[in-house]
Structure 1
């Protein structure tokens, strides 16, 4: 089964499992949407939908090894929220999604909150408060955002995988950050057309840990390694 309800257009988290403060939002949030009407918002704070959970609960939910979120290199992860879904894919398929990181921390900040995605039990950072490209946002309860971006991940082997997305506070629990995700699809390789996509090679992310086999732990490092729009493999 491929990713189901990857664009959240049913208006709920149907087919997803969630932990922490996770909500379905519309353009009324203040960021617009990357496509359609609805999108998923994950925060490090609390709302009527719930509150973020401590690091150990988050790692257990995501089937991450203890301390993995600290090992991404941003400092002491304290709390966060996440969603996950199990899907099947064929070798050569491409997982693609849109994302936007929001924060009320300073940019940059020593409280280096971050957003990530993963294919359990591994993870890769999307952005943190020290990333480049932030601008002021109209989003409710946040001061800056990265804007919507697209990532595409080449699937190495046919199989069943658990996809996850999350956002984490680092060093404190008092100032919130958030991740928007939307338009999550599994496509045949030939469907990828945008030169703005980050394309992970077949020997890259899925089924291989970027944390143990390479110093590359975030998307900006992949960009600096010329993995954008070149069609060349970005091997870890």
Structure 2
């Protein structure tokens, strides 16, 4: 009888494991660089540490910005018919904020399949050399802008080539079922001066099991729990 209990639990777990995957986010940990991602502007991956970190910057290729541009691709201008907002699935001017125009920036984008109840989570840090305007880090989900933070929130000294940073922050949001277009971005606000960078790591889409899946799992584990309690009493 003991072996039948274990078999029933194992079968339940096996059945749960064969359920179709509910999310198909490619290279979420950036271990393969930018594979699976479409980018505009200065977009690179820093894989010198663990975890790997996506880095987006507002740096162009002129003399002032060149030392901070790592991709060799200039920032994408905002506000035009083929500009930064349109690339992110927004209307031109959608990134203007608090009376300031969006000028230029960078994006990393991917479309994947998500299920109702899935959660997108990641950690981010905004570092900057801009002390005059509120350069913005943002997220776009299916045409909806989510503002993460601005350079005016950066009060901690930053290492490397930046002056200030927000420090590592956590973010999480529920997703809807169906194709999801995700864009990470950073944009210069108010002027072209003062490079800012958005760093993203720990990206994950966690699939929440459907109720019937949880019921199947619990049904399989129940005999195992009964057997363990029985053995404990016998001991």
Give the drift of 1:37: 3.9
3-state DSSP of counterpart to 1:60: helix
CA distance in 2, matches of 1:48, 1:144: 19
2:73 is the alignment partner of 1:59: no
What is the root-mean-square deviation of aligned Cα atoms in Å? Answer: 1.7
Structure 2 residue aligned with 1:15, among 33, 36, 39? Answer: 36
Cα deviation, 1:17-61, whole Å, max 9, x if unaligned, reads: 00001111145xxxxx6xx24211000003251110100311121
Tell me the equivalent position of 1:86.
Answer: 111
Structure 2 residue aligned with 1:145, among 165, 189, 207? Answer: 165
Tell me the equivalent position of 1:130.
Answer: 152
Give the conservation status (yes or no) of the 8 Å contact 1:98–1:149.
yes
CA distance in 2, matches of 1:37, 1:117: 20
Q: TM (normalized to structure 2)?
A: 0.70
Give the drift of 1:185: 1.1
Give the drift of 1:120: 2.6
3-state DSSP of counterpart to 1:42: strand
Give the conservation status (yes or no) of the 8 Å contact 1:74–1:112.
no
Unaligned runs of at least 5 residues, structure 2: 1-22, 61-68, 210-235
Give the conservation status (yes or no) of the 8 Å contact 1:63–1:121.
yes
CA distance in 1, matches of 2:152, 2:51: 30
Cα deviation, 1:199-227, whole Å, max 9, x if unaligned, reads: xxxxxxxxxxxxxxxxxxxxxxxxxxxxx
Tell me the equivalent position of 2:228.
Answer: none
3-state DSSP of counterpart to 1:78: strand
CA distance in 2, matches of 1:189, 1:123: 24
Give the drift of 1:163: 0.3
Distance 1:94 1:37, change over 3 A: closer
CA distance in 2, matches of 1:26, 1:134: 26
Unaligned runs of at least 5 residues, structure 1: 28-32, 191-236
Give the conservation status (yes or no) of the 8 Å contact 1:94–1:188.
yes
Count of aligned residue pairs for this structure pair = 175
Tell me the equivalent position of 2:45.
Answer: 24
2:25 is the alignment partner of 1:3: yes
Give the drift of 1:150: 1.2
**What are the equivalent positions in structure 2 for 1:73-222 lying under 5 Å apart?**
73=98, 75-106=100-131, 109=132, 111-131=133-153, 134-138=155-159, 140-155=160-175, 157-189=176-208
Q: TM (normalized to structure 1)?
A: 0.70
